[in-house]
Chain A
Amino acid sequence: MNDMNDIKQTGLAKYIENLKSLKSSFANSFLRSGIPTSDKSRTAVVVNNFFLHLHGAKTHINTLRPSYTLGLGLISFFLLVIVFISGGFLMVYYSPSIGTAFNAVKDINFVVFGGKLMRNVHKWSGEAMIIFVLLHMARVVYTSSYKRGREFNWVIGIMLLVLTFVINLTGYMLPWDQLSYWALVIVSNIAAAPKELTDIFGITQYFDIGGATKEILLGGTEPGQDSLTRVYLLHIILLPLGICIALGVHFWRIRKDGGLSKPDTLVGKGSGVASISPPDKTGGIFPTHKTYGLMELARGRTPAVDNDVENTVTSWPHLFIAEVAVFILTLAGVIAYSYFIDAPLKEFANPAIPENPAKAPWYFLGLQELVSYSAFMGGQGLPGLAIAGLLLIPYLDREPEHFGIWFSNKQGKMVALESFVIGSIAVIGALVFVVNFGWFRNWWPNIHQLWIIAINPGNLLLGFVVAYSLYVIKRTGSTRMGAISLFTMFLVSYVILTYTGTVLRGPNWEFFWSSSQWPVH
């Protein structure tokens, strides 16, 4: 009996013991090496965790400087997370059929608990992504962060930008209201715009690449159920998948390319060294200032020759606190905005009557301004060239100096300012001209379309931007200055054109100072 009791006792005691240590044993199993207490174990947490090991075990303090990154890339990523989660919720009620989609969205707005907020959050965080991805790009450009092995990651970044635009656009079409329908009409016809070119060469009947693209996109010749199915497929599977893959590569490359960019000269905190100059080795797979390495797991004297290491802190908890803070900030911002501003929902799609003005979503209105000169150039040619130009930036500017410093130097700041002013003048000048005097077709109605494709305000603007940045390179003798100039002008053009398309264009795409002056239909 005693024995039995003993055994029972020990069994129960073990059980109670296990119960007592549940917290630490679960934490140990979850974190693999337990709740960290030392720098070593902090490092181990990161290295051993599936999600966390995407980060370095140690993080350079420059990475944590809010004024350096402004957290823009991170915000973009968190917006994506919010979009994915809220999108998943919306899918519970949404059904991609032209007979039910509109009612489903109405029901989400009206009777689903928190439905309106969820829809707003999805909509606004998606659109905010566009802004933050662009700002993130601007940060990368202005801090020269596309250099020293990061060239390809810049390319991935541009891909993500394009994917962000497209996924937003496809989402716009799902409610199947007037906005959706006419945006789909316009977009599918932009897809068909190469017809302008094939028409000129008279080969449309043999090789109608534009028409084929349009029909593949729509699953027909006009928007209908098949189009909605396809757009839905793009929106919830293909594009998210593309984004996830591209984003995976993007993050992986950040690590492999040596972490976030940082200036070669940095005042290290407490290092006692005013200026640290690592050996200058650009490019390469293993730059000297990489932030991971087994030797960093050890304490004490290390074979490191790079003082850089001294300016790091353990990612756990410093980096993670920062990330959580930015995530909550993003979420708070999105929810606050969504609480006050509702996502639009117009009348049910009506193929007989276009909206007047029929506008694309705002982020495409810069392009719509351009397509109002020529559908092909504005919808495909110019965006294509702009993207090509952006892609080429890291390959055409390879100057290693001023890496990781905002605007490189004083001259860079001046060039950015100057390009901002000149670019604004050029865009506004072009717009003022077109609004007041029209373009070729208004002067010579019989002019051949080729002339308009070749010479239109959009092309001239692009030509001017390229020419001006080349002039800047020639004047300053620095390709870096050219890159700053080019990107600044790109950004200014995008913003001004978008503003014009959104606010200043009214019915019949006529110019109005504000929408309060629009004539009533």
Chain B
Amino acid sequence: MEGFSDKRVVRNVARTCLTFLLMILMAALNRTNAYSEDGDSALGKKIYEERCQICHGTNGDGKGLVGIIKKSEKSGRVLDVRPRDFTTGVFRFRSTPTGCLPSELDLMRLVDVGITKSFMPPHKDELSMDEKKAVVAYIKTFSERWKDEEPCDPIAVNKPGWVGSRTSVEKGLKIYKDMKCWECHGDDGKGKGPKSNEIKDDWGNAIPPFNFTTGALKRGTTPEDVYITFTAGLDGTGMPSYEDSLDEENRWHLVSYTLKLMGAVK
């Protein structure tokens, strides 16, 4: 499977007469699915224009026709939801360390499952694997970063058994205080800390800290997802990586405490 991203292999395949047979096969399946370099990017462009451009814009700058969507949260706070700007190559939901590009899998996953709560729809049933790969490849053309950098290795996640236990929650609470999480997320985890109004993202837009009591993290609500967020940070937002400032054990304690805030453990 990794071979597909290797353009040489694709090129070789394109140059064989099998291409022709494949084309026939695909035509029979009523799918425009070809593996030539041209076909690939053309398919990606087509899918992008049909499905992504309306929000993410023709140039991938996040300024599509739909524009900013206003959303009022349960707490009554009204947020601006902005489509991702692909031109900077900065992504929040990575499994790779902070500052890195996301892995191919990260992007595929986002296309697949979408992002709950911010209107990025899931495409699991809409697009074939090849189409998704094509569109991901097309998205990578918007930023120069993809040409210059290689994605780093994903962060290793090994959840210890004691996550969510009472002592772990208590330790997590201490870390929450010591690491000043409350400055943004608030003492009660509702995202109303003293600094919560000052935070801006890389594009200069105000961005509110997460309200843990709503329980619905955008990345996903499993302890592993929370752990990755602590380790990798959310690039482009105010949420830093704690990979350096907290060791692995303490990050897991913090996960325990957030699970409590989210109501997942007592």
Task: Consider the complex of A and B and state whether they touch directly, i.e. have CB atoms less than 8 Å apart.
Answer: no
Interface on B for A, CB 8 Å cutoff?
A: none
